[in-house]
Amino acid sequence: MNKQVLIAGGGIGGLAAAIAAVRADWDVRLFERATQFSEVGAGIQLGPNVVRRLQAWGLQRPLQKVVASPTALRACSAVSGRELGRLPLGADMVHRYGASYVTIHRADLHQLLLQALQDLPAVHLNLSQTVTSYAEQDGVITIRTSSDKLIEGDALIGADGVRSAVRAQMLGDGPPRVTGHLAYRAMVHQAQLPKRLRTSEVTAWLGPQLHAIQYPVRRGELQNLVVIVQGPPPDDLDHWDHSANLPDLLQHLKGTCSYLQDLIQHVPDAGGEWRLWPVADRVPVSSSGQMAQGLVALLGDAAHPMRPYLAQGAGMAIEDAAELQSALSMHDLDVSLRLRRYALNRWQRNARVQERSLRNGRIFHATGVMRWGRDLSLRALGGRIMDVPWLYEGSL
């Protein structure tokens, strides 16, 4: 009889954990608080380190049907509009790292993972159910759900996001920290944009105390836009409205180049709507005990929420799940040892990505002499400093 893993959270991390568990011959009971499985209209960049994991799960064909394949990663000045550096993607990435660099609509990735699980007899997906607490005794983990049900299993995976209830009980380290960075996000139809504003590349527009990212998703039919600025967060992070005001965003962008301002202003005309999200994170992971204790492990944002300046939030959740599969497959070990092995093999890499994301944020938003040095380095070295071999190869 297969062991049973309980998973809190049905986002990308939770679904990836469920795929990993099934492939390790475990039964899955997943609990998602929403009334239906869905994701917000945002884009995700998937480096070759992540694409290789999806390929290993047999998802290459459905992935190729929905992604865009950008031709290059560019860094440009948000003030002058000049290109500062360029890293070719496409075949170059496949040659160096064994997989492509792709961009995808968050909802498309979520649906791809969900379809891989549906109709599997070993998987039970439960909607409108939140894991509120757990107890561990005699080799059994028991969760309590928001409907006051008690459910037993052999392991619990907390994949319930940046404000994880599982983490709160396991570590008791309080809420995530407010970063002072705000993300304006929009998704538009490329065909409804003027041709000069459409793109087949990933472009990072770097400015003082702000940056913007644009790239294609969904086979190039849509363009994802993110502008991150520095400013105070909303007063009530749990209940505030995510609607954003275009004049407020344009005020942040005063002094930036005409191309970027034109692109931002065309969002409503191209079927888009600006939404606002405060960026939250935690200090980098400092030990394996912060990712697993006893029969409980954390995965994705519940374990290591990070700033989006390395484009690896979803990627690290999928890498976590791939490592979880390896650990759960060690059938000669006690479950607690398997989860400990998972945490030991993941925490240092996650910490490095968190730290690099923090560093990139300082570089992206640089002012004064640091900004001048950044631009000079990019113009001189270009793709050599934009490439991240340790990340894309999957090493520490």
Q: How many CB atoms lie within 10 A of CB 332?
A: 6
For the chain, the farthest-separated pair of C-alpha atoms sits apart, in whole angstroms, at 65
Long-range contacts of 268-273 (CB under 8 A, 24+ apart): 269/192, 270/188, 270/189, 270/190, 270/192, 270/193, 270/223, 271/188, 271/189, 271/192, 272/186, 272/187, 272/188, 272/189, 272/225, 273/186, 273/243
Separation between Cα atoms, residue 305 and residue 318, nearest integer Å: 13
Catalytic residue among 101, 134, 184, 215: 215
Separation between Cα atoms, residue 316 and residue 304, nearest integer Å: 9
- 184 is an active site residue: no
- 3-state SS assignment for residue 101: coil
Place of tokens 């991390």: 13
Closest Cα to residue 374, out of 76, 73, 45? 76
Closest Cα to residue 106, out of 15, 8, 194? 15
- 3-state SS assignment for residue 291: coil
> 112-139 burial, b for 16+ CB within 10 Å, e for fewer?
bbbebbeeeeebebbeebbbbebeeeee
Q: How many CB atoms lie within 10 A of CB 163?
A: 15
Closest Cα to residue 213, out of 176, 231, 252, 186? 186
Contact 231, 252 (CB under 8 A): yes
Active site residues: 215
